[in-house]
Amino acid sequence: MTPYAREIEVARSIAARSAELALKLQAAGVQAESKADASPVTIADKECERLIASSLLEVFPDDGLLGEEGSAKVSANDRKWIIDPIDGTRDFLRGNPLWSVLIGLEEDGEMKAGLVHLPLLGQTYFAARGGGAFVDGTPIRISEITARAEAALSVNGLHGIDRMPFAPKLTDWMSTFWSVRSLGGTPDAMWLASGKLEVWVEPKVAPWDVAAAQVILEEAGAVFHDHKGVRTIYSGNAVAYVPALRGAVFELLGLDS
């Protein structure tokens, strides 16, 4: 049996049920409220997190929890599920298909398993540490592109990226790539993991935004760290890339290569 196979199967089932609930609530009509950071939240976010949290603890009662909408439980065994019931609430509100359900498992301070369910794209990405990365059961791998001039770049959070230290040089830096895309976060990360782009830059993230993605990216062969070069999901920003483009990413971030 592959590592964390049971955890992945449980997460897949729960994510599918959560997405069904989200779509049902969406069809009934949802209104957004603003959280303290001005990001939107809906009844669907809250109800889906409640479903995910209770379902996980039903199967794994000793595990801890950390959720975007407030779910929190101290672990009794150094395992913690990190969840985002609707990643991309703005897309969800507008009827765009790029929102996702994110479920990651941290153990002893290391992300061990992650699942990204994109219900309206009909895709479920998942990975477990040491077991490879997959989409709908098919193995995925980063691309073999090594030249920046042939690489696709994703830069997210453009509406607030002017506050980043690298903002003054961003436009010139982006122009050295073959193409630039910005789907909003997790879909871009999954495109990187599956070989459809080569660099992903996120200026602002919370742990639940990248917990699941980190495992999938790394198991697919990508490098993941924050803007200071630290491999963590807790610093508030992130980048991921194919190893060959490390120099290009360090150039943007002002890191010593």
For residue range 188-203, list pLDDT tens digits in order. Answer: 999 999 999 999 999 9
Between strands 152-155 and 79-87, the pairing is unpaired
- Chain length of the chain: 257
Between CA 69 and CA 217, with CA 8 as vertex, the angle to 5 degrees is 80
Extract the tokens encoding 54.
């209770």
Percentage of the residues of the chain whose pLDDT score is greater than 70: 98
Q: Determine if residue 150 is left, alpha or beta; phi over 0 gives left, psi from -120 to 50 gives alpha, anything else beta.
A: alpha
What pTM, to 2 d.p., does this model score?
Answer: 0.95
- What pLDDT, on the 0 to 100 scale, is given for residue 39? 74
User: 116-167, pLDDT tens digit by residue?
Assistant: 999 999 999 999 999 999 999 999 999 999 999 999 999 998 888 999 999 9
- Encode 206-232: b = buried (16+ Cβ within 10 Å), e = exposed: bbbbbbbbbbbbbbbbbbbbbbeeeeb
DSSP string, 197-254: -SEEEESS--HHHHHHHHHHHHHTT-EEE-TTS---SSSS-EEEE-GGGHHHHHHHHT
